[in-house]
Structure 1
Amino acid sequence: MEMDLSTQKYTPELYNDYILGSAEVVGLMCLKVFTHRSDVDYEQLKPYAMKLGSAFQKVNFLRDVKADHQTLSRNYFPNVNLAVFCDNQKREIEEEIETEFAMALTGIKLLPVASRNGVYLSYIYYKKLFAKIKRLSAEKIMTERIRISNTRKVGLMFDSIIRNKLNVI
């Protein structure tokens, strides 16, 4: 991202611009393919795709907060001082992400069946990563990068395939 080439102090507007340019547009590009270029379906699903991309990006910000802050001197979260990052600030960010994930799942359920499995797999992967991050304190995520094991990723893949086939997402 061009915005990463220089140190930024992220205002709410710049934060939203970054998320739009780094994640929401990816969801929109995929959606164009998934809806087989149907303008009606695209417009209906557009807000859901954007929320999914935004949730993914914000989870990435939390996952990478240690490296962003300590190694790269970056802080994407507006009005948050990472030098004194606390659980209350973390919870506020998490509430935002939870809302976006809930909206995104509604959109995933509306996707054409042929496209749903891959999107749902990425959704449940990020939800598991997010759940792991949520269980930890702000102090803890500032000291290590949170990951999902490869074995767990394989399990999530099989789970998503079964859920999609049974239409129980």
Structure 2
Amino acid sequence: MIHTELHAAGIDDSRLRESYRYCRRLNAEHGRTYFLATRLLTPSQRPAVHALYGFARYADDILDDMDDEASPAEREQRLDRLSAKFFTGTADESEPVLAAVLHTVHTYRIPLDLFGDFLTSMRMDLTITDYPDRAALNRYMRGSAAVIGLEMLPILGTVGAAGEAAPYAEALGQAFQLTNFLRDVDEDLERNRVYLPADELAAFDVDRDVLTWCHQHHQTDPKVRRALSAQHDVARTVYREARKGIALLAPESRPCVATAFTLYSEILDRIEAIDFAVFSQRASVSLGRRLRVFSSGLIRAHRARGYGAA
């Protein structure tokens, strides 16, 4: 399948093809929902999406790989090397994602400042462990989530001016990340981070110490449950805004984004269904449900490409 995708995208250089394959493997291994949704794009679109995901995942792993015993200073040096090579267009084998992402950036004319914003947020993870309010968290999410949606727009295509779809693309990236913040609050505490606004938690008498107690005892304190429910409501509001942008995308791209939207919003549903017991279990959508949503999207994707309902 990967050979078909690379051929459809006009990627023939052997070294470049290997970089795209590497990015695709990262997506398949770490981004189950995203990877499933990309199967609904045209073959020529998929390698570029894998390249963007691969670059983001690769940078994130430099910071967060729990099996890597590198010090914070060493992680910062690695991120700086990746950044320098990206912005100088140096695609060597020491950074296997770079050839693919640089080729994608050039092919689709994706603005470089989006990647600058992304790397700025990645650097924040080296030193910032808490966010005092929503504004501070949004500054982090600008680079870690919103720009990902903007990077995708040239690949997905739009029916009108890209600028009209841009706010909704940003909102979708934020909605997905807000879902991650709720689902992974326990895991993030392992890394000494809390991605929930401190002032909004404080309204429910929740602070880091209370969250740490929940983490240590694998329980969700009632006041933490109420605080997480309020964060859940915020995420739902962002999803409602993001949904408006799907109709602004090119028809052949809508099934992919709609599928990702549905599956990720259902992770939010699962968090609520388990009564916010995120310190003792991981909210997820079953494989059967993922396949049913994918199958429905596949029919829409075939219709969008003029294949009928085969």
* TM-score of Structure 1 vs Structure 2, range by shorter chain: 0.7 to 0.9
Cα distance in 1, alignment partners of residues 293 and 229 from structure 2: 25
Say if 2:145 and 2:174, in contact at 8 Å, map to a contact too: yes
Cα distance in 2, alignment partners of residues 127 and 61 from structure 1: 13
Write the mapping of 1:42-57 to structure 2, written as runs, cut at 5 A: 42-57=162-177
Establish whether residue 147 from structure 1 lines up as the match of residue 268 from structure 2. no
3-state SS of paired residue (1:9): coil
The one of the two structures with greater contact order (alpha-carbon pairs below 8 A, sep at least 6) is 1
Could you list the runs of 5+ residues in structure 1 that have no partner in the other structure?
none
Deviation at residue 61 of structure 1 after TM alignment: 0.7
- State which of 105, 130, 154 in structure 2 corresponds to 1:9: 130
Cα distance in 2, alignment partners of residues 25 and 108 from structure 1: 17
Could you list the runs of 5+ residues in structure 2 that have no partner in the other structure?
1-121, 202-206, 213-220, 305-310
Residue 258 of structure 2 is matched in structure 1 by: 120
Deviation at residue 7 of structure 1 after TM alignment: 4.1
Structure 1 residues 76 and 114, CA, compared in 2 at 3 Å: closer, same or farther? same
Say if 2:150 and 2:169, in contact at 8 Å, map to a contact too: yes
Q: One-letter code of the match for 1:21?
A: G
Say if 2:255 and 2:301, in contact at 8 Å, map to a contact too: yes
Say if 2:267 and 2:284, in contact at 8 Å, map to a contact too: yes
Say if 2:274 and 2:283, in contact at 8 Å, map to a contact too: no
TM-score normalised according to structure 1 size:
0.85
Cα distance in 2, alignment partners of residues 17 and 34 from structure 1: 25
- State which of 270, 292, 295 in structure 2 corresponds to 1:158: 295
> Which region of structure 1 is more displaced relative to structure 2, 86-95 or 120-129?
86-95
1:33-90 superposed Cα distances (whole Å, 9 cap, x missing partner): 2236x8x521111111111110000001111111112x11210101232246622211
3-state SS of paired residue (1:141): coil
> Which region of structure 1 is more displaced relative to structure 2, 145-154 or 92-101?
145-154
Establish whether residue 92 from structure 1 lines up as the match of residue 230 from structure 2. yes
> Which region of structure 1 is more displaced relative to structure 2, 96-105 or 49-58?
96-105
Cα distance in 2, alignment partners of residues 60 and 28 from structure 1: 19
Say if 1:66 and 1:145, in contact at 8 Å, map to a contact too: no
Deviation at residue 163 of structure 1 after TM alignment: 5.3
Deviation at residue 94 of structure 1 after TM alignment: 1.2
Deviation at residue 157 of structure 1 after TM alignment: 0.6
Write the mapping of 1:22-41 to structure 2, written as runs, cut at 5 A: 22-35=144-157, 41=161
Residue 102 of structure 1 is matched in structure 2 by: 240
User: Sequence identity, in percent?
Assistant: 30
Cα distance in 2, alignment partners of residues 41 and 134 from structure 1: 37
TM-score normalised according to structure 2 size:
0.49
Cα distance in 2, alignment partners of residues 164 and 58 from structure 1: 27
Count, aligned residues: 163
Say if 1:117 and 1:161, in contact at 8 Å, map to a contact too: yes
